[in-house]
């Protein structure tokens, strides 16, 4: 009986390993998306001194550029956190906006965070549509009798004229 002590130890180690594996499955996943903001580089962009070329050399290509109105370059950085079996949630977000004047010189640099993020929760229960309000059975059986009927024809023959039994 004394030779089976190692089996008890093996069971304890395997139980501890299974418990550790189960606990690691509950850990959240942290991820970074977008631009990696370096405070030294973003602080080096100065209004009135830098232009588009110097900003692109210092910060790289922006995440996106404004299409209309004032020329603004946006550098977007998002840190997300995802729990098991859930969608990723934004934990922090930073948007660096570099505004340019008509000549292409930097007019201002702004940095914003999560205060400008809007949370949208669409109502997934019902989508309003145009048209008639019909039930399932009206949709299913509503066309019985109207499918295949030739408009303006009287009688039950349904075939072309002159194809009757007496040839008329």
pLDDT of 142: 77
**For the domain 26-116, what is the CATH code?**
3.30.1450
pLDDT of 113: 84
pLDDT of 62: 92
pLDDT of 149: 62
pLDDT single digits (tens) 30-89: 888 888 888 888 888 999 899 999 999 999 999 999 988 889 999 999 898 988 888 888
50 contacts: CB under 8 Å, gap ≥ 6 = 58, 105, 106
Residue 161 has pLDDT above 60, yes or no: no
Q: Kindly state the tokens that stand for 1.
A: 């009986």
For the chain, the domains span: 26-116
pLDDT of 22: 60
pTM across the whole model: 0.55
Backbone angles phi and psi of 2, in degrees to 5:
-70, -20
Bigger pLDDT: 22 vs 106: 106
- How many angstroms separate the CA atoms of 77 and 89, rounded? 14
Task: Name the nearest CA neighbour of 72 among 113, 101, 35.
Answer: 101
- How many angstroms separate the CA atoms of 148 and 160, rounded? 14
Residue 162 has pLDDT above 70, yes or no: no
How does strand 71-82 pair with strand 106-112? unpaired
DSSP E strands in the chain: the ranges are 29-34, 64-65, 71-82, 89-100, 106-112
Q: Kindly state the tokens that stand for 110.
A: 């702004």
Bigger pLDDT: 161 vs 144: 144
Band the pLDDT of 20: cuts 50, 70, 90: low
Average pLDDT value for the chain? 78
pLDDT of 5: 65
């Amino acid at each position: 009986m004394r030779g089976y002590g190692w089996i008890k130890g093996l069971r304890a180690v395997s139980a501890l390993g299974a418990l550790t594996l189960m606990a690691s499955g509950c850990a959240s996943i942290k991820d970074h998306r977008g631009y990696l903001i370096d405070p030294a580089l973003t602080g080096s962009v100065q209004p009135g001194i830098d232009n588009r070329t110097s900003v692109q050399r210092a910060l790289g290509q922006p995440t996106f550029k404004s299409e209309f109105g004032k020329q603004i370059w946006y550098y977007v950085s998002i840190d997300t956190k995802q729990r098991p079996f859930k969608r990723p949630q934004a934990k922090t977000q930073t948007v660096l906006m570099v505004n340019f004047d008509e000549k292409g010189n930097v007019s201002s640099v702004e940095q914003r965070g999560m205060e400008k993020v809007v949370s949208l929760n669409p109502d997934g229960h019902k989508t309003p549509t145009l048209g008639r309000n019909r039930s399932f059975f009206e949709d299913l059986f509503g066309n019985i009798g109207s499918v295949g009927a030739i408009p303006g024809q009287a009688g039950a023959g349904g075939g072309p004229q002159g194809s009757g039994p007496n040839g008329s």
